[in-house]
Amino acid sequence: MPLEYALQNSRHRPEVKFWKTEEVSVTLHPDPALGISYLEAATLERIHRRPITLNVMFVGAAGLGKSTLINSFFQSDLVAGCEDTDDLDDVRVTPYPAQLEEDGVNLHLTALDTVGLHRTEDLVLITDYLDTQYHQYMVTEHAPRRPAVLPDTRVHLIFYLLQSGTRGRLTPFDRRNLQALSAKANVVPLLAKADIFTPEERHQAKLQLAQEFERHAIETYRGPADEDPAEVQAFTGREPFAVIASDQFHTVGAGDSPVRGRLYPWGLVEVENPAHCDVAELRRLVMSVSLHDLIETTHDTYYAAFRVSHMRLNGRPESVMPFDADFESKLTTTQSQFVGLMQQREEQLRTAFMARIRDKESELRQYEDKALQRELELEAEDLQRQEAELEARQPESPKPASKPG
């Protein structure tokens, strides 16, 4: 990894300046022209020649009408005769592929219907499915004889359906699911069966759910960052999107074309009417505004994160790569972490060193006490020996003479 090593150790060569830190702009007027004005036509030709692949997954609890929403969102009958029962013991992901063509633009679309999401354990099967698609793409990408166009089964967008009956409250089940899925792919939350609300109730429920997302740090897809701010605001301002789905067609007025909707005794709720739900606006934002951004974000963010984590499993060390716009902040964070680790290690060494000094001092004091005790014992023995010698050297006292009788 010579490039990675060079970038991480760039501070040792202050004369090297990366091009991303330079903010110098020079306007050129080459003569003759370089031909960049033909890029738009070349890009359009490439789009017409190479189909676009989009894979959309619909996730949510049972009975929310995911299959019906697939038909309503794509204005087709991808899922024929569907009944969203979700009565399976385990999660099943059913793909519905289709080929779309509009004005020469070809779209390979796959709608993925998830059936059987009942328990927390079921979420693991969905995240495993997402990881499996990433892994298959990575294996094909690194194959010795890779195809010219890689087959892409990665999930570019997840529509997560929330229950309307909670009235704007995020259940722990949905919260855990959203947190896990938003770390794997682009997630757009939808408020399902929104026809149970009045317009005021629907607005209040959306505001409360948006606050729940912020409080629990749930990162949902917010639209392309380089798009018109007004378009991005359309994402953030409507989240979560309130949707209604139906496979039934009704005629509104004489001579009018039939429209998708749900007929009630008090009137007709139209799927495509912006005053009734957000399906039409959501379709425009996804298919027209954010289509390429969804694909690029999937590849550059979520697939890249999976690839890095996979390389970590093979023993590759942690790194501040890739070298992107956040390189400096990542490098600073890594340096501060390294300094903190070194300070912690230094404190541990200092503590261990002082403990060893205290142990040695204790040993020395014990040795001195033993030496002093031995010295006293030797002095006592020497004193006793000297006293014995003195007693042995003294002559015996003469006995007194007896008087003559």
What pLDDT sits at residue 223? Answer: 84
Q: Is residue 174 part of a domain?
A: yes
**Structural domain span for residue 328:** 320-383
Same domain for 332 and 184: no
Same domain for 277 and 238: yes
The model's pLDDT over 116-161, given as tens digits with 9 standing for 90+, comes to 787 778 889 999 999 999 999 999 988 888 888 889 999 999 999 9
CA 226 → CA 23, 98, 219, 290, distances in Å? 19, 29, 18, 10
pLDDT confidence tier of residue 1, bands split at 50, 70 and 90: very low
To the nearest 10°, the Cα dihedral for 219, 209, 282, 120?
60
Of the residues 302, 317, 332, the one at which a domain ends = 317
The model's pLDDT over 67-118, given as tens digits with 9 standing for 90+, comes to 899 999 988 888 875 555 555 566 788 999 998 888 778 889 999 999 878 7
Of the residues 317, 347, 372, the one at which a domain ends = 317
What pLDDT sits at residue 70? Answer: 92
What pLDDT sits at residue 138? Answer: 92
pLDDT confidence tier of residue 295, bands split at 50, 70 and 90: very high
Q: Is residue 57 part of a domain?
A: yes
- Comparing 53-57, 62-66, 115-119, 373-377, which segment has the lowest mean pLDDT? 115-119
Same domain for 344 and 237: no
Per-residue pLDDT, averaged over 280-294, amounts to 90
Q: Is residue 395 part of a domain?
A: no
Q: Is residue 402 part of a domain?
A: no
Q: Is residue 32 part of a domain?
A: no
Q: Residue 53 is encoded by which pair of tokens?
A: 């692949």
Give first-to-last CA distance, the chain, whole Å. Answer: 129
Same domain for 352 and 297: no
The model's pLDDT over 105-123, given as tens digits with 9 standing for 90+, comes to 888 999 999 987 877 788 8
The model's pLDDT over 330-367, given as tens digits with 9 standing for 90+, comes to 777 888 888 888 999 999 999 999 999 999 999 999 98
Same domain for 154 and 80: yes
pLDDT confidence tier of residue 44, bands split at 50, 70 and 90: low
Same domain for 333 and 375: yes
The model's pLDDT over 191-225, given as tens digits with 9 standing for 90+, comes to 998 888 888 888 898 889 988 998 999 999 988 87
What pLDDT sits at residue 379? Answer: 85
Residue 131 near residue 104, CB atoms below 8 Å: no
Burial class (CB in 10 A: 0-12, 13-18, 19+), 62: middle
Q: Is residue 2 part of a domain?
A: no
Same domain for 171 and 213: yes
At 394, phi and psi to the nearest 5? -70, 130
Same domain for 280 and 184: yes
Per-residue pLDDT, averaged over 43-67, amounts to 83
pLDDT confidence tier of residue 190, bands split at 50, 70 and 90: very high
Same domain for 363 and 289: no
Of the residues 292, 317, 342, the one at which a domain ends = 317
Q: Residue 73 is encoded by which pair of tokens?
A: 């969102």
Average confidence score pLDDT of the chain: 81
Same domain for 358 and 242: no
Q: Is residue 357 part of a domain?
A: yes
Same domain for 334 and 234: no
The structural domain count of the chain equals 2
pLDDT confidence tier of residue 16, bands split at 50, 70 and 90: very low
The model's pLDDT over 255-275, given as tens digits with 9 standing for 90+, comes to 678 888 888 888 888 888 888
- Give me the CATH number covering residue 87: 3.40.50.300
Q: What percent of the chain has pLDDT over 70?
A: 76
pTM of the predicted model over 0.75:
no
Q: Is residue 366 part of a domain?
A: yes
Same domain for 223 and 153: yes
Q: What is the three-class DSSP state of 156?
A: coil
Sheet containing 241-242: order of strands: 92-102, 105-115, 52-60, 157-162, 187-191, 241-242
